[in-house]
A and B are shown apart, each in its own frame.
Chain A
Amino acid sequence: MNKLLEVKGLKQYFPISTGFLKTTMLKAVDDVSFDIEKGETLGLVGESGCGKTTVGRTLLHLYTPTAGEIWFDGKKIGDKSSLREFRKRAQMVFQDPYSSLNPRMTVADIVAEPIDVHKLCTTKQERENRIRELMTLVGLNTEHATRYAHEFSGGQRQRIGIARALASRPEFIVCDEPVSALDVSIQAQVINMLEELQQRLSLTYLFIAHDISVVKHISNRIAVMYLGHMMELACANELTKHPLHPYTVSLMSAVPVPDPRESRKQRRIVLEGDVPSPLKVPSGCPFRTRCSRATSACMESCPAMRECAPGHFVACHNV
């Protein structure tokens, strides 16, 4: 096994003021551990507010973790010198291609920002060539280098964002909902491109999305999160075909199948109620308030991740 990234007991709490001189800790990510192998895509799914984006951002130290360790390529990430090197090798693609590109910068400058920050090119000519190379790589017309972001469509903007992420020749990219804002036909273009780039540049992805069919398509393994906790982690086919955790089971059954006959046959498990507030996470298992199989044990202690089948991890008392 060749692990590129190892996360151990990652916690990310945010202080929220809940009254006069009173703060409560919002546990966005609570004790999450996983690892990502070289060249692999790990998918991260969950509903809004479950902490999947926070995991991605904390991994890249955009937030300083409250607790836990992040190991990248055998080195622990944390101090300033390791961070600088790490940030060159790990990049991020953001969800919203409209707000993640500076409207006052030209495409060339946006794409070259990591190059300038890390001083990767010594001459102007070299920088220019690299920009051209990157734009071609993501299928953008190099003649458009002097244009501004607003002159492009959503799909093209996402390509600019990807070109920027690739500029420092990273090994690891956190893709935070990179296709959620795009139309289906454009979404497929970007997914195919991400897969091609992964092959060509031997990249490793953490792919965060809420669309399970997209995550299943692109990922080798999938992790499911709920209220800051990891509920299940397994190989993509295994997780979608034989989900074990009651939450994953209902999540899979809720996905509408784009096939009328199949969907008539589909048995839906409709969950009652809403996701509880992350400020008031239920005691024990966070899912127990909506779980049909909850017992008194679920109330008392939070289940730990156990390996139920080879490579299939579940955090549930009843599995």
Chain B
Amino acid sequence: MSLLEVKDLHTSFFTAAGEVKAVNGLCFNLEEGKVLGIVGESGSGKSVTAYSILQILTHPGRIVSGSIKFRGEELVGKSDEEMRHIRGNKISIIFQDPMTSLNPTFTIGNQLREAIMMHTDRNREQAHTRAIEMLRLVGINEPEKRIHQYAYELSGGMRQRVMIAMALACEPDILIADEPTTALDVTIQAQILELMMRLQKEFGMAIMMITHDMGVIANVCDEVIVMYAGGVCERGTTDEIFYHPKHEYTRGLMRSIPDMNDDEKTPLIPIAGTPIDLLHMPPGCPFSPRCERAMKICLKEKPKEYWVAHDHLSACWMNVKDGVCFDAQPSEGELG
């Protein structure tokens, strides 16, 4: 049994202009103690997936259908009260912008204590001790002093450390990190990623790392999901996705990134066209309007996910055409 199993998840926003299918038939598993990366462009449904798991979607968004199982327990359909025991306790989240996710009118100690007292039976004093302990753990100097400060008194990197401390205070099984380093500078990003990886080993939790930065994915993830227009393009181990991409979108994405080792300044090969309009989704593969290798079938029918290796799934008709895919998971030996 996987730690987290998401099956055929559909989340939509019902706007005045029509139904926006932000997540459209998403399937994936998250295993115990693994780091799973979710990569995609803005509007690909990465964050909405995270919000769906925690059920913190705001109106007019809601889960339309599908199943999200945490340790075999169905989360879809749970009441707010029941979800409150899961959020911050079993599954935690840290957001992109630590300034807006911390309350500016309370001290950070106040907010940390609140999270701890909500989910454990510690009293105020014990919660205070735990909060200081957590701040020290995430590498904040003089936590006894910092705990009385407000968010505005801290730097961006420091705020993100406080968010991590808060998220991990109840030792969750899953930490969802929604673009945790996007708002930070590279040197601070390196600090935060190092911290997250250290804590991941110490706490043994699983991490869902949502990002648009392929560099961050290559650095920290065991497995990757590439998303486009609310669906999975392909998923597999990080090495498989990077070295044997089996979807035109992933290939295009890799070609668009400037190569640091290229001294000749070879022109980049961008993906043509503009990002998809989620209100007007094409009937076939959502990437087909921008795909240079699109065939007739791509425009008509949405491809399902096929196995292309024992640790790699891809939803692209090209694999079917080239005959390099399997309906069932092949064993490692079968492929040589």
Contact = CB atoms under 8 A, between A and B. Distances in A.
Interface residues of B, number: 46
Interface in B215-254: 215-219, 238-239, 242-243, 252-254
Which label, helix, strand, loop or mixed, suits the secondary structure of the A interface? Answer: helix
A47 B219 CA distance: 21
Given A153-B275, A256-B219, A271 B268 contact: no
Interface in A198-216: 210, 212-214, 216
Contact of B256 (A153, A185, A218, A255): A185
A263 interface: yes
B333 interface: no
A33 interface: no
B188 interface: yes
Contacts of B243: 260
Interface stretch (A21-29, A64-72, A169-177, A188-196): A188-196
A225 B310 CA distance: 47
Contact of A185 (B41, B185, B217, B263): B41
Nearest to A274: B155
Contacts of B270: 185-189, 192
Interface in B111-168: 155, 157-158
Say which size band chain A's interface belongs to.
35 or more
Interface string B176-206: 0000000001111111011000000000000
Interface in B10-67: 41-42
A274 B188 contact: yes
Interface in A7-55: 47-48
Contacts of A1: none
A251 B119 CA distance: 40
Given A183-B275, A213-B260, A270 B191 contact: yes
Contact of A257 (B158, B260, B262): B260
A75 interface: no
* 4 pairs of A and B residues whose beta carbons are closest in the complex: A256-B215, A188-B270, A217-B258, A188-B256
Interface of B: 41-42, 155, 157-158, 185-191, 193-194, 212-219, 238-239, 242-243, 252-260, 262-263, 265, 267-272, 274-275
Interface of A: 47-48, 153, 155-156, 183-189, 191-192, 195, 210, 212-214, 216-218, 237, 240, 250-251, 253-263, 268, 270-271, 274-275
